[in-house]
Amino acid sequence: MEKMNRYCTELKKAMEYLAKDERVIFLGQTVAYPGSRFTYKFLEDIPLEKRIELPIMEDDQMGISIGLSLEGYKPVSYYPRLDFLLLAGNQIVNHLNAMEEMSCGQYKPTVIIKATAGMTKPYPGPQHCNDHTDVFRKMFSNVDVVRLEKAEEIIPAYQSALRSDRSTLLIDVGDLHYIND
């Protein structure tokens, strides 16, 4: 395994912290098998029974995450690129963000969404390098959006998301995966 910098080490520690909670389950692409550099390496030491591998189906993945939450789980829904979280926008905006209001308070799903904002070096292409943090902040009224700018912010942010009675989108910064420290 490649040596991780401090930022990546803190992401891995945060996932290990979350995995200790019996309600937590991780789902998405490359959560159980190697693939994206922004996913598997943070989960490889977490038991497979806490991970659900899914194909590329962003909207369905968020729907599954919402359903798991309504059944008492605290899903951590992995999106390796923030660009592709846009494809789950229907489920996030029209269901996750609005369900409590639509159900008159009867249902309040809480999902932790982990996504990586685009990186610029090495340049991965125009569909992998964007940072839509501000767009998501404007779209959501009941989902917290946290951009993780520093390594020391990571674990407290995930701890807060786990304790929260609201859903949280945590955005790590792709370029910070590559810094040497």
DSSP letters, 82-111, are HHHHGGGHHHIIIIITTHHHHTTTS-----
For residue 47, is it within any domain?
yes
Instruction: For residue 88, report the phi and psi dihedrals to the nearest 5 degrees.
Output: -100, 5
Q: ∠152-129-39 over CA atoms, to 5°?
A: 55
Is 166 within the bounds of a domain? Answer: yes
Please report whether residue 86 resides in a domain: yes
Mean pLDDT of the region 134-139: 91
Give residue 151's identity as a one-letter amino acid code.
A
Residue 170 within a domain: yes
Q: Give the model's pLDDT for residue 85.
A: 92
Structure token pair of residue 132: 């839509």
In a domain, residue 87? The reply is: yes
pLDDT in tens, 20-42: 999 999 999 999 988 776 788 89
Q: How far apart are CA 137 and CA 145, in angstroms?
A: 6
Tell whether the model's pLDDT for residue 156 goes beyond 90.
yes
Q: Are strands 24-28 and 143-148 parallel, antiparallel or unpaired?
A: unpaired
Domain that holds residue 135: 6-177
Residue 1 lies inside a defined structural domain of this protein:
no
Nearest-Å Rg of the Cα atoms of the chain is 15
Rounded-to-integer distance, Cα 143 and Cα 85, Å: 14
pLDDT band, very low/low/confident/very high, at 1 (cuts 50, 70, 90): very low
CATH number at residue 149: 3.40.50.970
* Tally of domains in the chain: 1
111-130 residue pLDDT tens: 999 999 977 776 666 666 67
Beta strand segments in 29-165, E: 51-53, 74-79, 112-117, 143-148
Continuous segment of H or E residues that includes residue 41? helix 40-43
Alpha carbon of residue 135 to chain centroid? 16
Query: In this structure, is residue 172 part of a structural domain?
Result: yes
> What is the three-class DSSP state of 18?
helix
Give yes or no for residue 151 having a pLDDT over 50: yes
Residue 68 lies in a domain: yes
